[in-house]
Amino acid sequence: MVTFPPCKINLGLDIISKREDGYHNLDTVFYPVPWTDMLEIIPARQLSFQSSGNLIPGREEDNLCLKAYHLLKKEFDISPVQIHLHKIIPTGAGLGGGSSDAAHTLRLLNAVFDLQLSTDRLKQYAAQLGSDCAFFIGDEPMQGTGRGEQLTPIELSLKDKYLVVIKPDVHVSTAEAYAGVKPQAPAIPLRDIIHLPLEKWKHQLTNDFEKTILTNYPVIAQLKEQFYARKAVYASMSGSGSSVFGIFDEPPKADPSWQSLAHWSGWLR
């Protein structure tokens, strides 16, 4: 069976407080983006994992797809499978590509072996794999709180808006991103801001990571400025970076040199 794990963008991201377990409480809105990897899982005589496309950093045994398989294997008598992941979504971009691959591995294994796991049960498994993995069990916008694993449906549609995503050639580690943040509750809750007219987001909807990341990495700040210069209604860094996205009413008319920077562009659903 084959599936196409999508990525996400973060619409606003408030770091509320530091937790005793070392994580942070946050508040964000996850929005699905139809830019996908490709994932195939078929029964096999022995467990194997292959990847193609973009290089995946780290050890193979640490890949989240394999971790998802072993997580279910602990509780269900599932047979070995062959996993092939074709990686298109860039890593270290704040787009959740690895988390999506993990969540869709759970979804696909549930279908392949007819485990009949409910959506809520799948989300519980996904939350064990990563803070934003649970979001990718569904396909709808969600407000994420706690570590990001506590999900609440939110009425929000960017259908017929045009999205452009650019991932500059810099890496921002999660540890570095959090080190530059001073946790605090926002003056206005994100859930109130997200329901304002889109043209008001520019001055109200913020990503706390940008306060230091844009200073430390001028190329990211420049990209955000370029989005607004080309009439983006809203532009932001996604997650802890380093990708930057712009939301437009229509495809931007820009010089070919700028258009060539785009890693993905298309209409949102």
Residue with tokens 């787009």: 95
Looking at residue 182, its amino acid is: K
**Cβ atoms of residues 167 and 182 within 8 Å:** no
CB atoms within 10 A of CB 31: 24
DSSP 3-state assignment of 222?
helix
Query: Phi, psi (5° rounding) for residue 129?
Result: -95, -25
Catalytic positions, written as ranges = 8, 132
**Cβ atoms of residues 141 and 8 within 8 Å:** no
**Cβ atoms of residues 8 and 32 within 8 Å:** yes
Residue among 95, 110, 103, 107 at smallest CA distance from 135: 103
Cα 186 from Cα 202, distance rounded (Å): 16
Residue among 71, 65, 31 at smallest CA distance from 48: 65
CB atoms within 10 A of CB 52: 12
Name the maximum alpha-carbon separation found in the chain.
56
Taking only Cα atoms into account, the Rg of the chain, rounded to an integer number of angstroms, comes to 19
The CA-atom distances, in angstroms, between 106 and each of 68, 69, 80, 222 are 6, 7, 14, 38
